[in-house]
A and B are shown apart, each in its own frame.
Chain A
Amino acid sequence: MTATKAPTEPPKQRVVRRPGDRIFAGSAKGSGIFILLVLAGVAAFLISEAIPALTAPSEDIPGGEGLAGYVGPLILGTLLGAVLALLVATPLAVGIALYITYYAPRRVAAGMGYVIDLLAAIPSVVYGFWGLAVLAPTLVPFHVWAADHLSWIPFFAGPASASGRTMLTVGLVLAVMILPIISAIAREVFSQAPALHREAALALGATRWEMIKMAVLPYGKSGVIAGAMLGLGRALGETMAVAIVLSGGAGATLNLIGSSNPSTIASNIALRFPEATGLGVNVLIASGLVLFVITLAVNMLARWIVNRRADFSGAN
């Protein structure tokens, strides 16, 4: 630099604030704070009500084996049912979404999308009764077969339940319940895969499936993960359907096809809360706190997965 002039103060940039901007910024900030407050309030309530259960001597906790002994099997049951549902529903939902967006003739696609969306409108009580009255008896032969042939896998250790009211059936009911959530989001993101990149793939000589692998699935991946996590959240918290279908009562077991299964946190609360008194209430609320933490962790995990390769996400 060869400037000889003394550096002058740069003129102050006057920031123009338009009322529309200000109103929008204010209301966005307000709703953000409101959500945080609600969340904090729920957490504070759960924690304060759970403290008596956390500090009580273990023989006072129902079951007499301490809080961990009581909540542990419930956590296992919750995760078993929800993860099973997710494993069944996600590939199915992705397949359905791809079929609707890229394979089906337009008329079929519209009808099919509509039917899948309808699944989301069915109340969970109805799913519960369907699971109890239709799915459970239908699956009994499979339970027997699995106990005979797959018993070397801990999940199918047996002996097989005669009623079919098992964790396996619950997982499948939950899978049907979360299918529309995942497939709706997958459909949305798949259909938004940019024509620019789909055409790039086709022009390179990609078949339709190769085009989907190159330009649609990578683009939709984070959306599918987000949808799957929403579905998982729903499955973790589902109460009615599980309470109706599952014959609980067992401690921790991985066996999916037996006649007594670990219950889930949500259905256990629903079943026990009406008769609970004193410390029993605190114990149930402590289990609710655990469910809250699990759901939060699942969502944070999903966010982390979605952000991990943000550079390559196509959002830039």
Chain B
Amino acid sequence: MAKRIEVSDLNIYYGNFLAVEGVNVSIEPRSITALIGPSGCGKSTFLRSLNRMHEVIPGARVEGKVVMDGQDLYGSDTDPVDVRRQIGMVFQRPNPFPTMSIYDNVIAGNRLNSKKMKKSEADDLVERSLRGANLWNEVKDRLDRPGSGLSGGQQQRLCIARAIAVEPDVLLMDEPCSALDPISTLAIEDLMAELKDRFTIVIVTHNMQQAARVSTSTGFFNLNGVGQPGRLIEFNPTEKIFSNPDQKATEDYISGRFG
């Protein structure tokens, strides 16, 4: 079940340092939203605030509202553990659990959610998730081997399989291809296009062609200088951003006339 996320007046802090300021945005269900912008402007920080992974860092906190289909994610009665079960995440560096087999990696999240699963159910889920991540054919003969023995691109697809195995509403991806070769990158882009039908996807990317290829909407983050907070400068349909952006800064950034 894909869901809509509404962010209003969001400020994100590391201790006393205001890293991201005043974000207002509405993220549509069943779409891919790309976040672009120069390094250090707060893309990862913003992304991690959407599933409350931000507060894992000591001293980190947010002000403002993030609402998913009417549920206030930062409400006083909302458990961050529940939020993360609904909003999955794929990280920049592939991070399968090295002490688990490929099979156990895929159902790691499900083992948390439901204590007991029948063997046949688990087998089905593993196959379905690995097929969903376009990895099944490559690993079906070595499901009991450690996930760390796979190539970088395969590891990243394993992490995607693990994330979608729990059927989240939203999938957050922080530069999922930046550590991968071009072929693996294309494999993951194809995968995202398929996953769009089932999930709300938000992806941070450094690669503007990638944003243009895969996303429906694009947000451009920027900052005025070192030590200044990052801001969401423009948020528009991807076509508009790349052909006729509203903001001069956006145009400068995507045309490479930047800084």
Query: Which of A194, A201, A205, A210 has the most chain B CB atoms inside 10 A of its CB?
Result: A205
Chain B residues, Cβ within 8 Å of A314: 98-99, 148
Measured between alpha carbons, how far is A206 from B113 in the docked complex, in Å?
9
B85-A312 in contact (CB<8A): no
Question: What's the interface size class on A, roughly?
Answer: 20 to 34
Interface centre among B58, B84, B163 (most CB of A within 10 A): B84
Rounded to whole angstroms, the CA-CA distance of A214 and B104 in the bound complex is: 11
In the complex, per-residue mask of A219-243: 1 if CB is within 8 Å of any chain B CB, else 0: 1010000000000000000000000
Interface positions of B from 114 to 173, Cβ below 8 Å from A: 145-146, 148-149, 159, 162-163, 166
Chain B residue with minimal CB distance to A194? B95
Contact indicator A200/B91 (Cβ below 8 Å) = yes
- A215 contacts B97, C-beta separation under 8 Å: yes
Cβ-defined contact, B112 with A204, below 8 A: yes
Q: Which residues of A contact B148 (CB under 8 A)?
A: 314, 316
Q: Which of A106, A210, A312 is B99 in contact with, Cβ under 8 Å?
A: A312
Chain B residues lying within 8 Å of A313, measured Cβ to Cβ, are 98-99
- How many residues of chain B are within 8 Å of chain A by beta carbon? 31
User: At the interface, yes or no: A207 with Cβ under 8 Å from chain B?
Assistant: yes
Given contacts A199-B91, A214-B108, A316-B148, contact A205 B97 (CB under 8 A): no
Q: Which of A182-214 contact B (CB under 8 A)?
A: 194, 196-197, 199-207, 210, 214
CB contacts between A and B, total, < 8 Å: 76
Of residues 63 through 122 on chain B, the ones whose CB sits less than 8 Å from some CB of chain A are 81-82, 84-85, 88-89, 91, 93, 95-101, 108-109, 112-113
Nearest residue (CB) in B for A202 is: B56
A203 CA to B92 CA, complexed, in Å: 13
Contacts of A205 in B (CB 8 A): 81-82, 84-85, 109, 112-113, 166
| B42-64 to A contact mask, C-beta < 8 Å, 1/0 | 00000000010100101000000
Shortest A221–chain B CB gap in Å is: 8
Q: Which of A275-301 contact B (CB under 8 A)?
A: none
Complex Cα spacing A114 to B148, Å = 36
Complex-state Cα separation, A233 to B142, whole angstroms = 40
- Supposing A199-B56, A312-B100, A314-B148 touch, asked if A204 and B95 sit within 8 A by C-beta, the answer is no
* A218 in contact (CB, < 8 A): yes
Which of A203, A214, A312 is B53 in contact with, Cβ under 8 Å?
A203
Q: Is the CB of B51 within 8 A of A200?
A: no
CA separation between A233 and B228, bound complex, in Å?
56
Q: Indicate if the CB atoms of A214 and B97 lie closer than 8 Å.
A: yes
B224 to chain A minimum Cβ distance, whole angstroms, is: 30
Task: List chain B residues, Cβ under 8 A from A9.
Answer: none
Q: Does A21 contact B (CB under 8 A)?
A: no
Using Cβ atoms and an 8 Å threshold, which residues of chain A touch B81? 205-207
Please tell me if A59 contacts chain B, counting CB pairs below 8 Å: no
B79 CB to nearest chain A CB (Å)? 9
Q: Is the CB of B88 within 8 A of A203?
A: yes
- The reply to whether B84 and A197 contact each other, CB–CB distance below 8 Å, is no
Residues of A within 8 A of B85 (CB): 204-205
- Closest 8 pairs (CB-CB, A-B): A205-B85, A314-B98, A218-B99, A204-B109, A203-B89, A205-B84, A196-B95, A200-B95
New contact pairs (11) apart from A197-B95, A206-B112, CB-CB < 8 Å: A197-B97, A203-B51, A204-B109, A204-B112, A205-B84, A205-B85, A205-B109, A214-B97, A215-B97, A218-B100, A316-B98
26 contacts between A and B (CB under 8 A): A196-B91, A197-B97, A197-B98, A199-B91, A199-B95, A200-B91, A200-B95, A200-B97, A201-B108, A202-B53, A203-B53, A203-B89, A203-B91, A203-B163, A204-B88, A204-B109, A204-B112, A205-B82, A205-B84, A206-B81, A218-B99, A219-B99, A221-B99, A312-B99, A314-B98, A316-B148
Residues of B within 8 A of A (CB): 51, 53, 56, 58, 81-82, 84-85, 88-89, 91, 93, 95-101, 108-109, 112-113, 145-146, 148-149, 159, 162-163, 166
A interface residue numbers (CB < 8 A to B): 106, 194, 196-197, 199-207, 210, 214-215, 218-219, 221, 311-314, 316
